[in-house]
Protein backbone atom coordinates (compact mmCIF):
# COMPACT_ATOMS: atom_id res chain seq x y z
CA UNK A 1 0.00 0.00 0.00
CA UNK A 2 1.28 3.48 -0.79
CA UNK A 3 2.34 5.81 1.93
CA UNK A 4 -0.53 8.17 2.75
CA UNK A 5 -0.48 11.27 0.65
CA UNK A 6 1.81 9.78 -1.97
CA UNK A 7 0.31 8.25 -5.06
CA UNK A 8 1.95 5.21 -6.53
CA UNK A 9 3.10 6.10 -10.03
CA UNK A 10 2.02 2.65 -11.27
CA UNK A 11 -1.55 3.12 -10.01
CA UNK A 12 -3.61 4.30 -12.94
CA UNK A 13 -6.91 2.46 -12.65
CA UNK A 14 -9.69 3.31 -10.23
CA UNK A 15 -9.69 -0.03 -8.38
CA UNK A 16 -5.95 -0.01 -7.69
CA UNK A 17 -6.04 3.61 -6.67
CA UNK A 18 -8.88 3.06 -4.19
CA UNK A 19 -6.90 0.21 -2.59
CA UNK A 20 -3.77 2.37 -2.52
CA UNK A 21 -5.58 5.05 -0.52
CA UNK A 22 -7.02 2.67 2.05
CA UNK A 23 -10.12 0.99 0.59
CA UNK A 24 -10.41 -2.75 1.29
CA UNK A 25 -9.25 -5.02 -1.51
CA UNK A 26 -12.78 -6.39 -1.80
CA UNK A 27 -13.74 -3.03 -3.30
CA UNK A 28 -12.85 -4.36 -6.72
CA UNK A 29 -15.47 -7.09 -6.34
CA UNK A 30 -18.11 -4.53 -5.46
CA UNK A 31 -17.73 -2.17 -8.37
CA UNK A 32 -18.37 -3.08 -12.00
CA UNK A 33 -15.17 -4.25 -13.69
CA UNK A 34 -15.38 -1.56 -16.35
CA UNK A 35 -15.36 1.03 -13.56
CA UNK A 36 -12.55 -0.70 -11.67
CA UNK A 37 -10.41 -0.64 -14.81
CA UNK A 38 -11.19 2.99 -15.52
CA UNK A 39 -8.03 4.91 -16.38
CA UNK A 40 -7.81 7.69 -13.83
CA UNK A 41 -4.32 8.89 -14.70
CA UNK A 42 -5.63 12.28 -15.93
CA UNK A 43 -7.60 12.68 -12.71
CA UNK A 44 -4.57 11.78 -10.59
CA UNK A 45 -2.55 14.34 -12.51
CA UNK A 46 -5.07 16.98 -11.40
CA UNK A 47 -4.62 15.91 -7.79
CA UNK A 48 -0.84 15.91 -8.07
CA UNK A 49 0.65 18.07 -5.36
CA UNK A 50 -2.69 18.71 -3.67
CA UNK A 51 -2.24 15.98 -1.04
CA UNK A 52 -5.72 14.51 -1.38
CA UNK A 53 -5.45 11.64 1.06
CA UNK A 54 -6.32 12.55 4.62
CA UNK A 55 -6.63 16.23 3.84
CA UNK A 56 -10.38 16.37 4.24
CA UNK A 57 -10.53 17.70 0.70
CA UNK A 58 -14.00 18.69 -0.31
CA UNK A 59 -15.67 17.71 -3.54
CA UNK A 60 -15.64 21.34 -4.55
CA UNK A 61 -11.85 21.28 -4.59
CA UNK A 62 -11.46 18.27 -6.81
CA UNK A 63 -9.56 19.68 -9.75
CA UNK A 64 -11.69 22.79 -9.67
CA UNK A 65 -14.93 20.91 -10.31
CA UNK A 66 -17.62 22.77 -8.41
CA UNK A 67 -19.96 20.40 -6.62
CA UNK A 68 -20.53 22.20 -3.33
CA UNK A 69 -24.16 22.50 -2.30
CA UNK A 70 -25.21 25.87 -1.02
CA UNK A 71 -27.64 28.76 -1.20
CA UNK A 72 -26.67 32.29 -2.18
CA UNK A 73 -27.22 34.60 0.79
CA UNK A 74 -27.87 37.71 -1.28
CA UNK A 75 -24.59 39.35 -0.27
CA UNK A 76 -22.43 37.38 -2.64
CA UNK A 77 -21.70 34.69 -0.06
CA UNK A 78 -22.82 31.10 0.06
CA UNK A 79 -24.54 29.40 2.98
CA UNK A 80 -24.05 25.63 3.19
CA UNK A 81 -27.28 23.99 2.08
CA UNK A 82 -27.45 21.64 5.02
CA UNK A 83 -26.64 24.09 7.80
CA UNK A 84 -29.20 23.93 10.60
CA UNK A 85 -30.61 27.23 11.82
CA UNK A 86 -31.48 26.71 15.50
CA UNK A 87 -34.45 28.63 16.86
CA UNK A 88 -34.98 30.14 20.33
CA UNK A 89 -37.15 27.90 22.54
CA UNK A 90 -39.53 29.09 25.26
CA UNK A 91 -41.04 26.60 27.70
CA UNK A 92 -44.56 27.44 28.83
CA UNK B 1 -47.78 -2.17 11.28
CA UNK B 2 -45.31 -4.90 12.23
CA UNK B 3 -42.30 -5.87 10.15
CA UNK B 4 -40.21 -9.04 10.16
CA UNK B 5 -37.37 -7.26 11.98
CA UNK B 6 -36.51 -8.10 15.59
CA UNK B 7 -34.28 -5.63 17.41
CA UNK B 8 -32.65 -6.36 20.74
CA UNK B 9 -31.19 -3.51 22.78
CA UNK B 10 -28.65 -4.28 25.49
CA UNK B 11 -26.63 -6.85 23.57
CA UNK B 12 -23.20 -6.20 22.15
CA UNK B 13 -23.79 -6.07 18.38
CA UNK B 14 -21.96 -8.39 16.04
CA UNK B 15 -20.35 -7.07 12.88
CA UNK B 16 -22.44 -7.15 9.74
CA UNK B 17 -19.61 -8.57 7.62
CA UNK B 18 -21.23 -11.96 7.14
CA UNK B 19 -24.68 -10.71 6.41
CA UNK B 20 -24.03 -9.42 2.90
CA UNK B 21 -25.23 -5.84 3.18
CA UNK B 22 -26.13 -4.25 -0.09
CA UNK B 23 -23.14 -3.83 -2.37
CA UNK B 24 -24.03 -0.23 -3.05
CA UNK B 25 -23.97 0.64 0.64
CA UNK B 26 -20.52 -0.94 0.95
CA UNK B 27 -19.35 0.96 -2.07
CA UNK B 28 -20.43 4.25 -0.55
CA UNK B 29 -18.74 3.35 2.74
CA UNK B 30 -15.52 2.39 1.03
CA UNK B 31 -15.54 5.51 -1.08
CA UNK B 32 -16.38 7.86 1.75
CA UNK B 33 -12.89 7.94 3.27
CA UNK B 34 -10.71 8.69 0.26
CA UNK B 35 -13.18 11.02 -1.44
CA UNK B 36 -14.41 12.67 1.75
CA UNK B 37 -17.92 11.87 0.56
CA UNK B 38 -19.58 13.42 3.58
CA UNK B 39 -17.33 16.42 4.03
CA UNK B 40 -19.14 18.60 1.48
CA UNK B 41 -22.15 18.57 3.79
CA UNK B 42 -20.74 19.12 7.27
CA UNK B 43 -23.92 20.49 8.85
CA UNK B 44 -26.46 17.75 9.26
CA UNK B 45 -24.08 14.88 8.59
CA UNK B 46 -21.39 16.08 10.94
CA UNK B 47 -20.39 13.38 13.38
CA UNK B 48 -22.25 10.55 11.70
CA UNK B 49 -20.49 7.24 11.93
CA UNK B 50 -21.75 4.72 9.42
CA UNK B 51 -20.32 1.79 11.32
CA UNK B 52 -22.36 2.61 14.43
CA UNK B 53 -25.47 0.73 13.43
CA UNK B 54 -26.68 2.28 10.21
CA UNK B 55 -25.45 -0.70 8.23
CA UNK B 56 -27.12 -3.13 10.58
CA UNK B 57 -30.41 -1.41 9.84
CA UNK B 58 -29.67 -1.35 6.10
CA UNK B 59 -28.91 -5.07 6.04
CA UNK B 60 -31.64 -7.58 5.27
CA UNK B 61 -31.11 -9.47 8.52
CA UNK B 62 -34.17 -10.35 10.58
CA UNK B 63 -32.39 -9.99 13.93
CA UNK B 64 -30.32 -6.94 14.75
CA UNK B 65 -28.62 -6.15 18.07
CA UNK B 66 -27.73 -2.81 19.58
CA UNK B 67 -25.75 -2.15 22.73
CA UNK B 68 -28.37 0.24 24.07
CA UNK B 69 -31.68 1.92 23.32
CA UNK B 70 -29.80 5.15 22.78
CA UNK B 71 -27.61 3.56 20.09
CA UNK B 72 -30.66 2.27 18.24
CA UNK B 73 -32.28 5.73 18.39
CA UNK B 74 -29.03 7.29 17.14
CA UNK B 75 -28.75 4.85 14.24
CA UNK B 76 -32.33 5.55 13.11
CA UNK B 77 -31.63 9.28 13.44
CA UNK B 78 -28.46 8.93 11.33
CA UNK B 79 -30.40 7.08 8.65
CA UNK B 80 -33.00 9.87 8.60
CA UNK B 81 -30.23 12.50 8.34
CA UNK B 82 -28.58 10.73 5.42
CA UNK B 83 -31.94 10.33 3.69
CA UNK B 84 -32.73 14.02 4.09
CA UNK B 85 -29.39 15.10 2.66
CA UNK B 86 -29.59 12.64 -0.22
CA UNK B 87 -33.05 14.02 -0.97
CA UNK B 88 -31.47 17.39 -1.64
CA UNK B 89 -28.39 16.23 -3.49
CA UNK B 90 -28.19 16.82 -7.18
CA UNK B 91 -27.58 13.44 -8.78
CA UNK B 92 -24.67 14.89 -10.72
CA UNK B 93 -22.99 16.04 -7.49
CA UNK B 94 -23.57 12.58 -6.06
CA UNK B 95 -22.01 11.00 -9.13
CA UNK B 96 -18.91 13.18 -8.83
CA UNK B 97 -18.53 12.47 -5.12
CA UNK B 98 -18.78 8.75 -5.72
CA UNK B 99 -16.58 8.83 -8.79
CA UNK B 100 -19.37 7.40 -10.90
CA UNK B 101 -20.79 8.34 -14.25
CA UNK B 102 -23.86 10.55 -14.40
CA UNK B 103 -26.32 7.73 -15.10
CA UNK B 104 -24.85 5.33 -12.55
CA UNK B 105 -24.86 8.13 -9.98
CA UNK B 106 -28.57 8.78 -10.52
CA UNK B 107 -29.50 5.11 -10.30
CA UNK B 108 -27.36 4.49 -7.23
CA UNK B 109 -28.72 7.59 -5.52
CA UNK B 110 -32.29 6.41 -6.03
CA UNK B 111 -31.32 2.88 -4.94
CA UNK B 112 -29.75 4.20 -1.77
CA UNK B 113 -32.76 6.39 -0.93
CA UNK B 114 -35.13 3.48 -1.56
CA UNK B 115 -33.00 1.25 0.64
CA UNK B 116 -33.08 3.80 3.48
CA UNK B 117 -36.86 4.20 3.05
CA UNK B 118 -37.33 0.46 3.44
CA UNK B 119 -34.99 0.30 6.44
CA UNK B 120 -36.89 3.10 8.20
CA UNK B 121 -40.25 1.40 7.59
CA UNK B 122 -38.81 -1.91 8.83
CA UNK B 123 -37.36 -0.49 12.04
CA UNK B 124 -40.47 1.49 12.98
CA UNK B 125 -42.50 -1.73 12.70
CA UNK B 126 -39.87 -3.89 14.41
CA UNK B 127 -40.45 -6.04 17.43
CA UNK B 128 -38.24 -4.49 20.12
CA UNK B 129 -36.75 -6.57 22.92
CA UNK B 130 -34.82 -5.10 25.85
CA UNK B 131 -32.11 -7.06 27.56
CA UNK B 132 -30.66 -5.85 30.86
CA UNK B 133 -28.49 -8.88 31.59
CA UNK B 134 -25.17 -7.23 30.74
CA UNK B 135 -25.96 -3.63 31.50
CA UNK B 136 -28.84 -1.89 33.18
CA UNK B 137 -29.16 1.88 32.83
CA UNK B 138 -30.72 3.99 35.56
CA UNK B 139 -34.50 4.36 35.23
CA UNK B 140 -33.99 8.04 34.39
CA UNK B 141 -31.43 7.35 31.64
CA UNK B 142 -33.66 4.63 30.21
CA UNK B 143 -36.61 7.01 30.17
CA UNK B 144 -34.55 9.54 28.21
CA UNK B 145 -33.42 6.88 25.70
CA UNK B 146 -36.97 5.63 25.22
CA UNK B 147 -38.10 9.22 24.58
CA UNK B 148 -35.35 9.57 21.96
CA UNK B 149 -36.50 6.31 20.40
CA UNK B 150 -40.10 7.53 20.36
CA UNK B 151 -38.98 10.74 18.62
CA UNK B 152 -37.66 8.70 15.67
CA UNK B 153 -40.87 6.66 15.48
CA UNK B 154 -39.95 3.43 17.28
CA UNK B 155 -42.15 2.28 20.13
CA UNK B 156 -41.31 0.12 23.10
CA UNK B 157 -43.86 -2.03 24.86
CA UNK B 158 -43.73 -0.98 28.53
CA UNK B 159 -44.92 -4.45 29.65
CA UNK B 160 -42.04 -6.11 27.82
CA UNK B 161 -39.68 -3.70 29.55
CA UNK B 162 -41.11 -4.60 32.95
CA UNK B 163 -40.65 -8.29 32.23
CA UNK B 164 -37.02 -7.72 31.16
CA UNK B 165 -36.10 -5.56 34.15
CA UNK B 166 -35.91 -8.31 36.86
CA UNK B 167 -33.14 -10.10 34.92
CA UNK B 168 -30.68 -7.57 36.31
CA UNK B 169 -32.36 -5.92 39.27
CA UNK B 170 -33.39 -7.19 42.67
CA UNK B 171 -35.98 -4.51 43.07
CA UNK B 172 -38.89 -4.26 40.64
CA UNK B 173 -39.53 -1.01 38.86
CA UNK B 174 -41.33 1.54 40.98
CA UNK B 175 -44.87 2.57 40.11
CA UNK B 176 -43.54 6.03 39.28
CA UNK B 177 -41.20 4.72 36.58
CA UNK B 178 -43.76 2.25 35.24
CA UNK B 179 -46.12 5.12 34.69
CA UNK B 180 -43.33 7.27 33.19
CA UNK B 181 -42.44 4.55 30.66
CA UNK B 182 -46.07 4.02 29.75
CA UNK B 183 -46.43 7.75 29.14
CA UNK B 184 -43.84 7.75 26.33
CA UNK B 185 -45.67 8.05 23.03
CA UNK B 186 -44.29 7.71 19.53
CA UNK B 187 -44.01 11.00 17.67
CA UNK B 188 -46.39 10.81 14.71
CA UNK B 189 -47.69 14.28 13.94
CA UNK B 190 -47.03 15.93 10.59
CA UNK B 191 -48.08 19.32 11.94
CA UNK B 192 -50.67 21.93 11.08
CA UNK B 193 -50.15 25.51 9.95
CA UNK B 194 -52.75 27.88 11.37
CA UNK B 195 -53.18 31.65 11.07
CA UNK B 196 -52.77 33.16 14.53
CA UNK B 197 -53.15 36.81 13.57
CA UNK B 198 -52.70 38.80 10.36
CA UNK B 199 -49.22 38.06 8.96
CA UNK B 200 -48.37 35.62 11.75
CA UNK B 201 -48.83 31.89 11.33
CA UNK B 202 -48.20 29.13 13.81
CA UNK B 203 -46.98 25.64 12.92
CA UNK B 204 -48.28 23.27 15.59
CA UNK B 205 -47.04 19.78 16.39
CA UNK B 206 -48.53 17.49 19.00
CA UNK B 207 -46.38 15.15 21.07
CA UNK B 208 -47.39 14.02 24.51
CA UNK B 209 -44.93 15.15 27.16
CA UNK B 210 -42.82 17.32 24.86
CA UNK B 211 -42.92 20.19 27.39
CA UNK B 212 -40.79 18.23 29.85
CA UNK B 213 -38.04 17.40 27.34
CA UNK B 214 -34.99 19.49 26.47
CA UNK B 215 -35.85 19.45 22.79
CA UNK B 216 -33.91 21.75 20.44
CA UNK B 217 -35.67 22.91 17.28
CA UNK B 218 -34.06 24.13 14.09
CA UNK B 219 -34.69 24.66 10.41
CA UNK B 220 -32.96 22.92 7.54
CA UNK B 221 -34.21 23.94 4.11
CA UNK B 222 -37.92 23.03 4.15
CA UNK B 223 -37.69 20.77 7.19
CA UNK B 224 -38.01 21.29 10.90
CA UNK B 225 -35.22 19.60 12.86
CA UNK B 226 -36.26 18.19 16.24
CA UNK B 227 -33.15 17.30 18.26
CA UNK B 228 -33.22 15.46 21.56
CA UNK B 229 -29.70 14.91 22.87
CA UNK B 230 -28.31 14.40 19.37
CA UNK B 231 -31.12 12.15 18.14
CA UNK B 232 -32.91 13.94 15.33
CA UNK B 233 -36.22 13.69 13.57
CA UNK B 234 -37.24 15.81 10.60
CA UNK B 235 -40.70 17.17 9.80
CA UNK B 236 -41.43 18.64 6.39
CA UNK B 237 -42.84 22.15 6.58
CA UNK B 238 -45.68 23.41 4.40
CA UNK B 239 -44.33 25.15 1.30
CA UNK B 240 -45.81 28.45 2.51
CA UNK B 241 -43.25 28.56 5.35
CA UNK B 242 -40.37 29.01 2.90
CA UNK B 243 -41.42 32.62 2.30
CA UNK B 244 -41.92 33.41 5.97
CA UNK B 245 -39.49 34.29 8.73
CA UNK B 246 -39.35 31.81 11.64
CA UNK B 247 -39.72 33.14 15.17
CA UNK B 248 -39.64 31.50 18.56
CA UNK B 249 -40.55 27.93 19.41
CA UNK B 250 -42.91 27.42 22.33
CA UNK B 251 -43.00 24.11 24.14
CA UNK B 252 -46.25 23.33 25.94
CA UNK B 253 -47.00 20.20 27.94
CA UNK B 254 -48.23 18.15 24.98
CA UNK B 255 -47.54 20.30 21.91
CA UNK B 256 -45.10 22.74 20.39
CA UNK B 257 -45.65 25.76 18.18
CA UNK B 258 -43.30 27.62 15.87
CA UNK B 259 -44.26 31.10 14.74
CA UNK B 260 -43.74 32.23 11.18
CA UNK B 261 -44.12 35.85 10.15
CA UNK B 262 -45.02 36.84 6.63
CA UNK B 263 -42.26 38.87 5.05
CA UNK B 264 -44.09 41.78 3.43
CA UNK B 265 -41.29 42.25 0.91
CA UNK B 266 -41.93 38.70 -0.33
CA UNK B 267 -45.67 39.33 -0.53
CA UNK B 268 -46.08 42.92 -1.75
CA UNK B 269 -49.54 44.32 -1.36
CA UNK B 270 -51.23 44.92 -4.68
B19-48 pLDDT, tens digit each = 434 444 544 454 444 343 443 344 566 556
- Do B44 and B133 fall within a single domain? yes
Tens digit of each residue's pLDDT (9 = 90 or more) over A15-25: 777 777 667 77
Residue B71 lies in a domain: yes
Give the least confident one: A73-77, B95-99, B263-267: A73-77
Contact at 8 Å (CB) between B7 and B128? yes
Q: What is d(CA A12, CA A5) in angstroms, rounded to the nearest whole number? A: 16
Contact A87 B31 (CB under 8 A): no
For residues B69-84, average pLDDT: 89
Give the least confident one: A55-59, A68-72, B195-199, B221-225: A55-59
What is the interface pTM, i.e. ipTM, of the complex? 0.83
Count of domains observed in chain A: 1
Which residues in chain B have Cβ-Cβ distances shorter than 8 Å to A89? 215-217, 248-251
Residue B146 CB contacts under 8 Å (≥ 6 apart), including other chains = B69, B156, B181, B184
Greater model confidence, B155 or A20: B155
Phi, psi (degrees; rounded to nearest 5) at B77: -60, -40
Write down how long chain A is.
92
In the sheet that holds B244-251, the strands lie side by side as A89-91, B244-251, B255-262, B200-206, B192-197
Write down how long chain B is.
270
Q: Is the pLDDT of residue B138 over 60?
A: yes
Q: Is the pLDDT of residue B143 over 60?
A: yes
Q: What is d(CA A86, CA B36) in angstroms, rounded to the nearest whole number? A: 26
- Do B10 and B133 fall within a single domain? yes
Residue A22 lies in a domain: yes
Residue B28 CB contacts under 8 Å (≥ 6 apart), including other chains = B37, B98, B112
Q: Is the pLDDT of residue B223 over 60?
A: yes
Count of domains observed in chain B: 2
Residue A83 lies in a domain: no
When the pLDDT of each residue in chain A is averaged and rounded to a whole number, the result is 57
Residue B240 CB contacts under 8 Å (≥ 6 apart), including other chains = B193, B201
Q: Which domain holds residue A60?
A: 14-70
pLDDT at residue B10, as a whole number: 85
Q: Which domain holds residue B200?
A: 192-262
Residue A79 lies in a domain: no
Out of A23, A68, A92, name the one closest to residue B40 (CB).
A68
pLDDT at residue A5, as a whole number: 40
Residue A62 CB contacts under 8 Å (≥ 6 apart), including other chains = A46, A47, B96
Amino acid sequence: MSEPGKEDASVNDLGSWLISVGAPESITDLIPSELARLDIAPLLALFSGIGLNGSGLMGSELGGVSVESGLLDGAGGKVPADEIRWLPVIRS
Amino acid sequence: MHSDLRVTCGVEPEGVAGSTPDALAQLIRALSAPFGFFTPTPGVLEGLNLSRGVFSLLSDRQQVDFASVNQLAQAVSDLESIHLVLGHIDSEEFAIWCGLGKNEGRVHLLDLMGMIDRALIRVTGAQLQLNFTQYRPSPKALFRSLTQLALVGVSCDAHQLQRAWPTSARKPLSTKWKSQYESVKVFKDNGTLVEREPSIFSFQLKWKGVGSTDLAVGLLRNHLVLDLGGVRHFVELPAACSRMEPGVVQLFKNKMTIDFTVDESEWPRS
